[in-house]
Amino acid sequence: MKKMLVADADVERLDTWARYTKDLCRDCHATCCTLPVEVRIGDLIRIGVVDEFERGDPPKNVAKRLLKEGIVERFNQKSGIFTLTRTSNGDCLYLDRKSRLCTIYKNRPDTCRNHPQIGPRPGYCAYRKKTS
């Protein structure tokens, strides 16, 4: 089984993660924004990539469109969860490469709003200090 690595944090080894405190975000390299971001239809509506009228459409049809547009990289029909696309360097589609800030912060998905209370290591983050 392949281990998922996030910067220097190994999902299977808690000792590679930092216990979360609010102060960590201040000088972090936005490492959490390299984790796969799972979203639901409500998140996609809030982000503005799905129209409220599409809420009633079959989710697989919405997924097909979003896959084609490069907004999602995967859709799990059984759970109804979409996974946002990541760029070639592993960043979330909505992370600004230079500033390392979220470009949709006010409308960010619930997964992001609730991190690190939810995620692969609740209460911990894959903190990596900014270099520069």
Please write the tens of the pLDDT for every residue from 49-98: 999 999 999 999 999 999 999 999 999 999 999 999 999 988 999 999 99
80 to 20, 61, 107, 126: CA distances (angstroms): 29, 12, 20, 26
Are 94 and 39 contacting, i.e. CB atoms less than 8 angstroms apart?
no
pTM above 0.85, yes or no: no
Backbone angles phi, psi at 19, to 5 degrees: -65, 130
Grade residue 19 by pLDDT with cuts at 50, 70 and 90: confident
Q: Is the dihedral of CA 39, 44, 45, 46 positive or negative?
A: positive
Cβ count within 10 A of residue 89: 8
Q: Using DSSP, state whether 16 is helix, strand or coil.
A: helix
